[in-house]
Amino acid sequence: EIIIKKPNGETSTTTIRVWNETVSNLTLMALGSSAPEILLSLIEVCGHNFIAGDLGPSTIVGSAAFNMFIILAICVYVIPDGEVRKIKHLRVFFVTAAWSIFAYIWLYMILAVFSPGVVQVWEGLLTLFFFPVCVVLAWVADRRLLFYKYMHKKY
């Protein structure tokens, strides 16, 4: 919060957002909630001469499944009767949903098609590159920076 002093002597308090909601949810919240699984996988891979064991990938897949089904079910269940919840930013939802589907397809392609059972360096780097691209596209959707300004015009 900052205090703004007007020319007539009055002061007002204004809250300034430091982070964009979409960017913070996709980066800080995701990394913060997934940090234990990521660190566990890194420790296991480094301890086994950069060969994945059973613990790391299983933990990540199990955590994703738990988040997708159990957490989502609880969120839906606790909504009081007679109340309705809506998705606040539908554009951002579609972008992240598309990237989620792409992530599963990409994971399958890496592990079963390109180099079965082995993750090559280029695959890992490309996967790492996809995350900032996803965040930027979600931010663009949130800010309506592309074709959104032309959607409601009549030509």
The residue extents of the domains of the chain are 21-85, 88-155
Whether the predicted model's global pTM rises above the 0.75 cut: no
Alpha helix positions (H), the chain: 21-24, 30-47, 55-66, 72-77, 90-108, 121-143
pLDDT in tens, 65-76: 887 788 889 988
Give me the pLDDT at residue 132, please. 94
d(CA 79, CA 14): 32
Q: Give the tens place of pLDDT for each residue, 30-78.
A: 888 888 888 888 888 888 887 777 777 778 778 878 877 888 899 889 9
**pLDDT computed for residue 147 by the predictor:** 63
Instruction: Select from 152, 149, 135, 137 the least CA-distant residue to 23.
Output: 135
% residues pLDDT > 70 (the chain): 94
Q: What is the mean pLDDT of residues 104-123?
A: 89
